Amino acid sequence: MRRFDPQRRDRIIEAALEVIVDLGVGRTTHRLIAERAGVPLGSMTYHFNNLEEVIWSAFEKFAARMQQSFEDRLRRAAPTGDLVRAIAPPVEGDRSQQQADALLVLELYVLAIRHPVYRRLVEQWMASTRASIERHFSTQHTEVIDALVEGFFIHRVFSGSVPSPDAIAHALQMLTKGTDPLRSISGPRAKPSSSS
């Protein structure tokens, strides 16, 4: 199977993500994906049972990628103590990539409200995000931090000027003043105030 073009399935999935970004799930068709992936139309239903399966695979891959990327950002930041900046939605990266990600996240949410399979995917992703946060911050703040990150992520899409990481860092500081928002990496490292 797929002896001569082993990456074809994968290319189709990537193409599907691109089409979804461009036109939305509702306008995504076999034809458009096939064209974008550079594969014959008949190839679509050969590699996938139906269109829904293609779309599912695309979102599955997307969620995994986003999840991984968030985790990485937190992990890379931990040793440097720049955690508050790390959890804020990244500013680096071209804006169009950000819009594309937001588009996919929102379309995924919409699917998740309607279809249990997608709901499970989102719940699992959200759980993973909270776990990542909890690994670095204190438990009692996790939920709030999580909501804050989500809210900023969305609002950033619709305002040219979004809260800078610094502003977010400040919010977190306020949110956790008195208690220690950061977990485990105790001692001398503190004084995040210097970084605001």
Partner DNA sequence: AATGAATGAGTATTCATTCAT
Partner DNA sequence: TATGAATGAATACTCATTCAT
Which range, of 34-42, 55-63, 75-83, 102-110, touches a copy of itself by CB under 8 A? 102-110
CB of 43 to a copy of itself, least distance (A): 16
Q: Does 5 bind DNA (CB under 7 A)?
A: yes
CB of 46 to DNA, least distance (A): 3
52 binds, among DNA, a copy of itself, none (CB under 5 to 8 A by kind): DNA
Cα separation of 173 and 54, whole Å?
43
Number of H helices, E strands in the chain: 9, 0
30 binds, among a copy of itself, DNA, none (CB under 5 to 8 A by kind): DNA
| Other C-beta atoms lying within 10 Å of the C-beta of residue 188 | 6
Q: Which of 22, 84, 26, 116 is nearest to 35 (CA)?
A: 22
Q: Does 26 bind DNA (CB under 7 A)?
A: no
Cα separation of 16 and 12, whole Å?
6
Per-position x/- string for 137-176, each x denoting binding to a copy of itself as judged by CB under 8 A, each - no binding: ------xx-xxxxxxx-xx-xxx---x---x---x--xxx
96 binds, among DNA, a copy of itself, none (CB under 5 to 8 A by kind): none
Per-position x/- string for 37-76, each x denoting binding to a copy of itself as judged by CB under 8 A, each - no binding: ----------------------------------------
| Other C-beta atoms lying within 10 Å of the C-beta of residue 118 | 21
Angle between helices 95-114 and 51-77 (to 10 degrees): 120
Degrees (nearest 5) of the Cα angle 49, 53, 58? Answer: 140
Residue 183, both tokens: 């977990």
Please list every residue from 33 through 92 that binds DNA, using CB under 7 A. Answer: 39-47, 49-52
Binding site residues, DNA, CB under 7 A: 1-6, 8, 27-32, 39-47, 49-52
